[in-house]
Every structure is written in C-alpha cells, then in structure tokens.
Amino acid sequence: MSCPLCDEDGGLVVHREKGLRVVRVLDDANFPAFYRVVWDAHVTEFSDLAAADRHRLIDRVAAVEAALRQALQPTKVNVASLGNMVAHQHWHVIARFDWDSHYPGPIWATPQRTVQPPPAERLALSLTALDERVRQALIASA
C-alpha cells in the first residue's frame, strides 16, 4: 500500500535533519502557517518510536509552535497528531487566528467566513520569512 508521506515530502521542505523533516503545507490557502513535522521512517504510532526519537520529534514540534507564536502572535496554535488518513507518524502545527475562515472550529469544519485580503497577506511577515524563522528555531532546538 502506498503512503503519501513515504512517497513525497508532503509540502515545501523548510528543514531536514536525520530522521525527520518539517514542511509547510501548500494545499490549503486558508491556512498559510500550517506546518507538518514528519518522521521519515514509516512508523504508525508515536509509541512505536524509541524514547530518544519521541523526545526529538516532540522537541521539533515545540520549536515550530514557538516560532509561529513568536513570529505571528496567533490567537491559538493547533498541534495534533491524527494519522487517521495517513498512517505515518507526523504532527500538524497550525497557527490559527480569530479572523481565519474556520475559527474557532477545526480546519476541516465548515468555513464560517470568507477572509479578505487572502490569509497569507494578513500574516505579520511573508511566508518566505516565516519559513526562515521556523528553520532557525529548529536549528536552535537541535
């Protein structure tokens, strides 16, 4: 059976280190500050990882969250590891704003509003600059 996170990166790679990568998700313009921390090996459950790998993975999740909070001052940061659709260990880290199309509901719920100007234009800095902030936070956390 094919796994999309084994077969491809899953977004724009902003950081790669031994065993994991961090990508910015590109397929939903409603949530431009949506990152995934992906364990490279096909591991289904978090508890399947060795203790040291679990700690490193969750440290990288925390680094992405902290970078988003510092750079964007979002209303909330959603952090989740669902894995129902893609049984491959990965964490979603999503900056949420009280103006976003789905807030306060989850990103997969029915939109509550149309956002103008587009969400990426409403961020405190460009996506390129945000990616660099996330990358620097990950390097510092290593």
pLDDT digits (tens, 9 = 90+) for 108-128: 999 999 999 999 999 999 999
Q: What is the number of residues in the chain?
A: 142
pLDDT for residue 73 = 98
pLDDT digits (tens, 9 = 90+) for 78-89: 999 987 778 889
**Tally: H helices and E strands in the chain:** 4, 5
pLDDT digits (tens, 9 = 90+) for 45-66: 999 999 999 999 999 999 999 9
Q: Which domains does the chain have, with CATH numbers?
A: 4-97+106-141 (3.30.428.10)
Tell me what the mean pLDDT of segment 22-31 comes to.
Answer: 96
* pTM for the structure as a whole: 0.95
Chain position carrying tokens 């460009």: 126
